[in-house]
Structure 1
Amino acid sequence: MSDRRGPGERIARLRPAYQADITAGTARFFEPRRTACPWCGGAALTTRLRTRDLLQHKPGRFVLDRCEGCGHVFQNPMLSAEGLEFYYRDFYDGLGEKKLGDTFGGRTKAYRGRARSMLPHDSAPKTWLDVGTGHGHFCAAARQVLPDTVFDGLDFTDGVELAEREGRVERGHRGSFPELAPELAARYDVVSMFHYLEHSTDPDRELRAAREAVRPGGHLIVEVPDPESRYARLLGRWWLPWLQPQHLHFVPVANLRDRLASLGFTVVAEQHAEAHDPVDLLAAVWLALDHAAPREDAPWLPGPPGALRRALRAGLLIAGVPALAAGALLDRFAVRPLAHRLGVANAYRIVARRD
């Protein structure tokens, strides 16, 4: 949880353990390379993207492959359990807790929009489980739209325990959703997975868990990055939703619709414009600037940067402010109103009823 020490002291304290992990090599962070699509089993795979960690800048190279049969895009080779621990460490918690908490906490308008997507299908659900809830900010905002709904959260990090202590969720379930699903069977009117499925090692298993937790007649809401977005091709590795190495699977909307139907769901809504987050150009400029600039201090680096490197980084980022501002304006005022029509919506949302 939160650490009150200064960032420099915390980084120095964490550096020996990170350096030991890196010295041992990154090969153990990956599973064996797949020769077949994990979604459909097809063997016709092509390389979609090669990239590095553009957010934390931890060491490693990452490859996304695309199945030519069904269009599923997936990390190949995929992170192992050790790799997931290494690359998630200090991202959502630890060093990254405050930054990510502030980011997610400031998205109240988007969270209310997600909650409103349920209103045409169930205007007053009694119980709602948000899977991958993080610190529970969605649930806190959604309660403004659905004041009589009881919101629970589920996550495998300690953020869900914080969410319960802060009153953002009624109850926080910590652990693996598929493993917890039997004790949650048919308990919820709504189960939501907002930008969760792409993080899972086995999306099909997660969807089966959702079917178990949703009561008959209840609803499942899934929102994920759209690998068919034109931005994914135009921006390449600078497209933020690729988010390597954390995003493991990218499911085309037709694939998700078919899989939900096979699990006994009926899709009642498919939304693209509503799920679009207008940050693509801003994020692409930032990722490129941050990649070109000298690194800021982090425990996975051999040592803290000197004064010259810090000055060079600050100068480059300041010089990039006009480009960042232009990207933000284009995202919000030029692209956003036409995102779906232009085919650049970066996410889609599906609402499905369990029959």
Structure 2
Amino acid sequence: MVEVSNNAPQCPLSDQEMKLWLSMPIDAITGQPMINNIYYCSESDYGMVFPRPSINAIADFYNLNNYYTQGESHFQEKSNNSFLDKLRVHIAWRFDKGVHLTAQLIDQLVNHKSSKICDIGCGSGQLLKELKMMGHDVMGVEPNERSTVYSQDLDVYIGTAENIPKQIAENRFDVIIMTHVLEHCLAPKVALSNIYELLRPGGYLICEVPNNACLGFKYSGVTWTMLDLPRHLNFFTSSNLQEICQQANFEIQAINYSGYCRQFSNSWIDYEREIYNKIIAAQVNPMPFPVKNSKFRAWQLLFLTLFATPDKKYDSISVIATKPQN
């Protein structure tokens, strides 16, 4: 278990002292007691778990029976949807203008030219497979040795963004992808610095993370599906995601948002209810104490967000950035 420190951390983006923002006393998936304190900087909007866990503790966080990298997510789709359930999701779908990270988007980014692409934290390897089928030269990094990617015909190595495998470090890439990876990094600045070195001049970084400015997070608090403590260590908004990339010398080309319709599915609601039930079963007191999600609350959130600005509407943000030519 990670011990609590009495010393407040300094924000790595603004150098200002951070304040205790949120506390979650269990693992959101397993329900096991665990101290997760998130500190927040009002100047940069950046949040982070503090004290920082050890590398060995982080490895234990992923010792799960089911996780998306193993091909079986803890978040399962439901089929028992009523007419009102389907209507709620359909309305959200009609208002969902998010830009999803796909192989087609990446292929368009490189003007359909065969490119050398690396996916760091490639999970099950689905994106790599699709890019390979399009004719791209692909490699990947995945820290979870139990991932299904290692049973496939893909050039993937065990490692992290902070500890790049030798086989990857020997290459230079046109595109590096980090899909929901930076929030897991113990040292995100080191991760981005490593990626900068791996890119060719003019190469692209595509980095997607949860959007901690969205109203869904405000609504659900510590039970929010995308919070995923203790596996998430860093908490971003569009502004500080751009800032941390710029501090690593990247040039921002675009900010995109995704993840709206799914917030109103029964699966999403049920998963957040499960986290709430684990809090009650563990007899702990997170800060602030959440309200249990429900279909009624999902309808409320839907009407609050239909015409909201993208930073308040979508659960994920992504940056497309380039390494300067000079």
Give the structure-1-normalised TM-score: 0.69
- Kindly state the Cα deviation for residue 345 of structure 1 after the two structures are TM-superposed: 1.0
Unaligned stretches of 5+ in structure 2?
78-97, 282-291
* Paired position in structure 1 for 2:129: 140
* Paired position in structure 2 for 1:198: 183
Distance 1:76 1:119 in 2: 39
* Paired position in structure 2 for 1:184: 169
- 2:105 alignment partner, one of 117, 127, 131: 117
- Kindly state the Cα deviation for residue 71 of structure 1 after the two structures are TM-superposed: 1.4
The aligned runs of 1:92-241 (5 Å cut-off) are: 97=70, 99-100=72-73, 113-123=101-111, 124-143=113-132, 147-159=134-146, 162-167=148-153, 169=154, 171-180=155-164, 184=169, 187-241=172-226
Distance 1:159 1:336, change over 3 A: farther
- Kindly state the Cα deviation for residue 230 of structure 1 after the two structures are TM-superposed: 2.1
Distance 1:46 1:101, change over 3 A: closer
1:133 aligned counterpart, secondary structure? coil
Distance 2:72 2:234 in 1: 25
Q: Letter of the aligned partner of 2:129 in structure 1?
A: A
Distance 1:184 1:98, change over 3 A: closer
Q: Letter of the aligned partner of 1:122 in structure 2?
A: V
Distance 1:150 1:243, change over 3 A: same
Deviation string for 1:26-85 (max 9, x for gaps)? 3xx347465223423634322222223232212213221101221111112232233213
Distance 1:74 1:41 in 2: 13
Unaligned stretches of 5+ in structure 1?
1-25, 105-109, 297-319
Distance 1:101 1:61, change over 3 A: closer
* Paired position in structure 1 for 2:44: 70
Distance 1:33 1:40, change over 3 A: farther
Deviation string for 1:250-304 (max 9, x for gaps)? 12322232332333322111112xx2253334424432245437999xxxxxxxx
Distance 2:116 2:126 in 1: 17
Check whether the contact 1:192–1:222 (CA below 8 A) recurs between aligned residues.
yes
Distance 1:31 1:280 in 2: 32
Check whether the contact 1:111–1:141 (CA below 8 A) recurs between aligned residues.
no
Check whether the contact 2:184–2:232 (CA below 8 A) recurs between aligned residues.
yes
Q: CA RMSD in A?
A: 3.7
Q: Which has the higher helix share?
A: 1
- Kindly state the Cα deviation for residue 344 of structure 1 after the two structures are TM-superposed: 2.1
Identity of aligned residues (%): 16
Distance 2:46 2:202 in 1: 29
- Kindly state the Cα deviation for residue 113 of structure 1 after the two structures are TM-superposed: 4.0
- Kindly state the Cα deviation for residue 195 of structure 1 after the two structures are TM-superposed: 0.2
2:106 aligned counterpart, secondary structure? coil
1:204 aligned counterpart, secondary structure? helix
* Paired position in structure 1 for 2:259: 276
Check whether the contact 1:181–1:210 (CA below 8 A) recurs between aligned residues.
no
Check whether the contact 1:153–1:173 (CA below 8 A) recurs between aligned residues.
yes
Distance 2:3 2:320 in 1: 34
Check whether the contact 1:185–1:215 (CA below 8 A) recurs between aligned residues.
no
Distance 1:177 1:341, change over 3 A: closer
Distance 1:44 1:213, change over 3 A: same
Q: Which has the larger radius of gyration?
A: 1
* Paired position in structure 2 for 1:344: 313
- Kindly state the Cα deviation for residue 236 of structure 1 after the two structures are TM-superposed: 1.2
2:102 aligned counterpart, secondary structure? helix
Check whether the contact 1:185–1:214 (CA below 8 A) recurs between aligned residues.
no
Give the structure-2-normalised TM-score: 0.74
Q: Letter of the aligned partner of 2:164 in structure 1?
A: L
1:118 aligned counterpart, secondary structure? helix
